[in-house]
Amino acid sequence: MEPTKRIIINTGAQYIKAVLSICLSLYSTRLILDALSISDFGIYTVVGGVVAMLGFITNGLVVTTQRYISYYHGRGEHSYVAKIFTNSLILHIVFGLAIGVVLALLKPLLFGGVLNIPSDRIATAMNVFYITLAILFVTIIIAPFKAIFIARENIVYISIVEVCDGIIKLFFAISLAYVSHDRLMVYALMMLAIQVMNLLAFTIYGRLRFEECSLTIHRSSLSMSVTRQLMGFAGWTIYSMGTLAARNQGIAIIINHFLGTVVNAAYGVAAQVDGAIMFISSSIVNAMNPQIIKAEGEGERQRVLALAGQESKYSTILLSIFAIPIIVELPEILPVWLKEVPSNTIMFCTFALATCLVDQMTIGMNTVNRAQGKIGLYTLLMFTPKLLCLPIGWSLLYTGHSLESVLWTSFIIEAVTSIARIPYLKITAGLNVSIYIRQTIAPILPLIGGLILCSWGFVFLLPFHFRFLLSIPLTIIFGLIMTWIFCLRGNEKEYITNLLKSKFRK
């Protein structure tokens, strides 16, 4: 299958999955919040989040394994790919066990004063902590298998598994209302069961589908040189994702310390909304990353930069079309979605989505740097500054400033680091800045402005309940029209037109 068509199919699969996952996730959150109560949901957000934030290690290992598999597929060294997978699997198991032990040793510190949890729920919170440790370990073991599917561009199967994940979570959320035992404990066990199902889905089908996806570890496959390559790249990747996790969960802990678990519930709801919306833009990123890395392996640098610009543009377009009308309609959506809306939820959701939007404008530059393999200096310069919002945020709340000032700090830092990627890639990868701005950034700005005006126009023109059922679909249609007019170049329009014509002929 030709690369462009594969990207479109994989993006379509991810896009459909994203829409279904959003609907399932948002409704599940409503049911869970209702079943657990705001306080228990806040406990799960902060306790489970302390462990879940280390999911960045899983993501870092997935990115590392996928990068090397895609790169060496591009170079045609298929026997080396099997060796990468075997050594990666061993590395994941070791990482998973080590992280579990370290976190178990940190439990007295976390529950001895760091976390602000009601005294009558501490015992349950500790049990939830151990369950989420098991969830993290299973998630880490899934990582190399998922990386194989991404590297081999079988995104359709990943989408199917993740939609099934959302359906099962919805079923469990409905069932939670009929549970008579401690619902917080039962909910944590349900999440563990879902991860075990995901592990079986990826390992069994992966073994059947891909020759290099072997569960048997042969002595001849073990290689210290491969392990050192993976560990070196994974170390920097984990650091970069760790800064994001530390920032997000660090803000949650700061909020918990100063304002308590009720405000954490609002932060948790915003994280659900943010995660659901980010599925949409990640559909483009997941579909295009393997092609970008393969192109680097084949020595086609100009194609790498062109694809990276398209990745940034398309992911920002998709995120804007959905996120902007949702941000504007949040005051109408949240009371319908949640029976009881935690205070500050609208503010958290707005800043979370706006922060993601500014990051997506140069997200393709991350992939270019990863494809090159020289990620140390880039990681230090582009990700370390994101941690500044933690000491600044703590100081702001400690000195009596508003919660909003903390969120503004995080947004500004994200915007600065996003812009800084462009000159860095000019120096290291030969990026043509003027072309990037003209072909990627400039076409997006009219779309964002038009979506904001359109969304607020509906707020003033349609002052009735459930307006969002009409305004959001109409704004999305308006956004798609603006995308065709302002965002797509002539060759992109021609390709889409020809593709649609061929489909209609068939």
Q: Cβ(304)–Cβ(295) under 8 Å?
A: yes
For 201-226, give the secondary structure using H, E and C.
HHHHHHHHHCCCCCCCCCHHHCCHHH
CA–CA dist 194, 181 (Å, integer): 20
What are the pLDDT digits (tens) for 270-309? 777 777 667 666 667 767 777 788 788 777 888 888 888 8
Q: What is the Cα–Cα distance from 44 to 124, expressed in whole angstroms? A: 10
Distance of CA 453 to the CA centre of its chain: 28
Calculate the CA dihedral of residues 198, 200, 205, 206 and round it to 10 degrees. 80
**Torsion angle (degrees, nearest 10) of CA 33, 38, 41, 45:** 120
The parts of the chain modelled with pLDDT lower than 70 are 1-15, 18-19, 21-22, 26, 46-56, 58, 74, 76, 78, 113-116, 215-221, 261-262, 276-277, 279-283, 286, 339, 495-496, 498-506
Please give the full DSSP string across 266-322, using - where no structure is assigned. Answer: HHHHHHHHHHHHHHHHHHHHHHHHHHHHHHHHTT-HHHHHHHHHHHHHHHHHHHHHH
Our measurement of the distance from residue 171's CA atom to the centroid of its chain's CA atoms, rounded to an integer in Å, reads: 23
| Domain boundaries, given as residue ranges, for the chain | 3-442
Please report, to the nearest 10 degrees, the dihedral formed by the alpha carbons of residues 7, 12, 13, 17 taken in order.
Answer: 140
pLDDT at 197: 92
Cα–Cα distance, 174 to 27 (Å, whole number)? 10
- Sign of the alpha-carbon dihedral angle for 45, 254, 356, 232: negative
Alpha carbons 464 and 459: distance in angstroms, whole number: 9
pLDDT at 453: 93
Of 152, 149, 170, 171, the C-alpha closest to 160 is 149
Q: What is the pLDDT of residue 475?
A: 92
What is the rounded distance in angstroms from the CA atom of residue 440 to the CA atom of residue 310?
7
Contact 415/358 with Cβ under 8 angstroms?
yes
